[in-house]
């Protein structure tokens, strides 16, 4: 392989990991001269996307390439942010081809197809990468989109982030404490209030007691050990275990995985398991009562 072909191979591999694009500063870092870059532009091996950013081999870019091109065009400290970051994480879809990028106060000038957001500084714990692409963390992304979203749309974004195991609620708590006066903080706090469970178990305990008394059902054993672990409620005659999720700030992907493993252990041992969340216990009382009644009587 000749030197030029070998260089083109390295360029292609760099672009492959960046959605099909490469920055001029990266090409210079690979040892290409300005003349060599211009030669490839004239030959159609590179195509200008933004000043100093090129697609390799063809002009057609998908959304990943557009994100990479926008971030590369805005300098080394630029990160994907806002609605574009939310779409990249899968938190909230967006059909817009305008890419939102966060830069420092001394960031680059405006460019077509890029929506710039400026900040004085971006703490390291608010930045991560997604397959190598610099991007705001899921928590910071939610705070940013909360500037324009509220109510159910914002709640859906938080739900989606939690479902995708992207979110630790402790991260959000720290971020909201860091930016108490930031636009979006009140909206996000309002949505997160529904996740602050307090003591889910005590509320569920009251519902269980009311149900049993109203229908003459035996009350369950509480905090009893089954299959080596303490379970919230247990009806021996029905081999039914009921557990209460506490969506407090400490909830994390590992804690949620532990809950699911507890359920699997019981199922494999021949028990039936029902698990209720704070949302269900406090806002969907009829659903919880109906499920318990069916499991204890009709089941």
Per-residue pLDDT tens digits for 31-50? 999 999 999 999 999 999 99
Q: Residue 218 phi/psi, 5° resolution?
A: -70, 140
Which domains are assigned to the chain? 1-61 (1.10.10), 66-195 (no CATH), 200-298 (3.40.960.10)
pTM > 0.75: yes or no: no
Residue 233's DSSP bridge partners are: 222, 242
Cα 259 → chain centroid: 20
Q: Residue 244 phi/psi, 5° resolution?
A: -115, 120
CB 114 within 8 A of CB 68: no
Per-residue pLDDT tens digits for 71-105? 999 988 899 999 999 999 999 998 888 999 999 76
Q: 72 vs 42, 61, 99, 168, CA distance in Å?
A: 22, 14, 12, 29
Q: Report CA dihedral (156, 161, 165, 167) to the nearest 10 degrees.
A: -120
pLDDT band of residue 277 (cuts 50, 70, 90) is confident
pLDDT of residue 37: 92
pLDDT band of residue 256 (cuts 50, 70, 90) is low
**251 pLDDT above the threshold of 50:** no
Segment holding 95, helix H or strand E: none
**219 pLDDT above the threshold of 90:** no
**258 pLDDT above the threshold of 70:** no
pLDDT of residue 246: 57
Rounded distance between C-alpha atoms, residue 182 and residue 201, angstroms: 34
Give the residue-averaged pLDDT of 208-218. 79
């Amino acid at each position: 392989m000749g030197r030029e072909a070998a260089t083109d191979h390295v360029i292609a591999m760099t672009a492959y990991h960046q959605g099909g694009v490469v920055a001029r500063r990266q090409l210079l870092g690979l040892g290409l001269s300005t003349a060599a870059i211009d030669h490839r532009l004239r030959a159609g091996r590179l195509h200008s996307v933004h000043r100093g950013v090129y697609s390799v081999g063809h002009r057609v870019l998908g959304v990943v390439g557009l994100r990479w091109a926008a971030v590369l065009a805005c300098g080394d400290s630029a990160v994907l942010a806002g609605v574009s970051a939310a779409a990249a994480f899968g938190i909230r879809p967006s059909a817009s081809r305008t890419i939102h990028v966060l830069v420092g106060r001394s960031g680059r000038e405006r460019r077509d197809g890029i929506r710039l957001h400026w900040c004085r500084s971006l703490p390291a714990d608010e930045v991560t990468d997604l397959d190598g692409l610099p991007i705001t963390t899921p928590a910071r992304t939610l705070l940013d989109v909360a500037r324009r979203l509220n109510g159910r749309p914002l709640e859906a974004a938080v739900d989606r982030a939690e479902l995708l195991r992207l979110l630790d609620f402790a991260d959000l708590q720290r971020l909201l404490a860091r930016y108490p006066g930031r636009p979006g903080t009140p909206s996000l706090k309002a949505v997160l209030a529904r996740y602050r469970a307090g003591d889910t178990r005590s509320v569920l305990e009251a519902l269980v007691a009311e149900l049993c008394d109203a229908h003459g059902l035996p009350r369950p054993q509480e905090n009893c050990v089954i299959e080596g672990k303490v379970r919230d409620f247990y009806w021996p005659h029905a081999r039914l275990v009921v557990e209460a999720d506490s969506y407090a700030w400490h909830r994390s992907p590992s804690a949620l995985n532990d809950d699911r493993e507890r359920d699997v252990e019981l199922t494999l041992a021949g028990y039936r398991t029902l698990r209720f969340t704070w949302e269900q216990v406090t806002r969907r009382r009829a659903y919880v009562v109906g499920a318990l009644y069916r499991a204890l009587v009709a089941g």
